[in-house]
Amino acid sequence: MPTGTVRLHRVLRAPPERIYRAFTDPDAMVKWLPPNGFTAKVHQMDARVGGTYRMSFTNFSNGQSHAFGGEYLELVPEVRLRYTDRFDDPNLPGEMITTITLKPVSCGTELTAVQEGIPDVIPEESCYLGWQESLALLAKLVEAEIPG
């Protein structure tokens, strides 16, 4: 039974609208979401409550892929996203729920991520590591101030 939960917190030097867009734009997702050593493809994304998405990550070293998808449960622009994740692999059963909360602060945006229902076969420390790598890439994307 999936039971793991991870909680992460990060302050980003970017406005909430830019961070929110990074979670709902397929081109942005493939830039920041896959952890180090992986590439990503967004096969389908309908970012609206009740809409669904499908993605896959590919291990760059060995070429092995795993696919996953889910449904958007809550989308409050610039404030909160809540969505499900379900792996195609039957060895990774159950449904995870991820909640992303954005709060404006004096130097940018406070991001809180909570992922619940992580399958027991995935060590929580691996989830933390993957999220930390992804959030570092997210920061590079949303914090960049490009003139023009």
**Using 50, 70 and 90 to split pLDDT, how confident is the model at 93?**
confident
Kindly state whether residue 101 falls inside one of the protein's structural domains.
yes
Residue 135, CB-side half-sphere exposure with 13 Å CA sphere: 20
Does residue 148 belong to any structural domain of this protein?
A: no
Percentage of the chain modeled with pLDDT above 70: 99
pLDDT of 48 reads 98
Look at residue 90 in the predicted model and tell me its pLDDT: 87
Q: Which amino acid is at 33?
A: L
Q: Which amino acid is at 22?
A: A
Q: CA 63, CA 59: separation in Å to the nearest integer?
A: 5
Q: Which range of residues forms the domain containing residue 40?
A: 4-143
Is pLDDT of 1 > 70? Answer: no
pLDDT value of residue 144: 95
Q: Is residue 84, in this structure, part of any structural domain at all? A: yes
- CA–CA separation, 87 vs 46, rounded Å? 18
Q: What is the CATH number of the domain that holds 82?
A: 3.30.530.20
pLDDT, residue 143, reads 98
Q: What is the pLDDT of residue 22?
A: 98
Cα-to-chain-centroid distance, residue 106: 24
Residue 94's pLDDT band, with cuts at 50, 70 and 90, is confident
Query: Which pLDDT tens digit goes with each residue over 43-65?
Result: 999 999 999 999 999 999 999 99
Structural element, H or E, at residue 30: helix 26-32
Count of the separate structural domains present in the chain: 1
Whole-number Å distance between alpha carbons of 39 and 137: 13
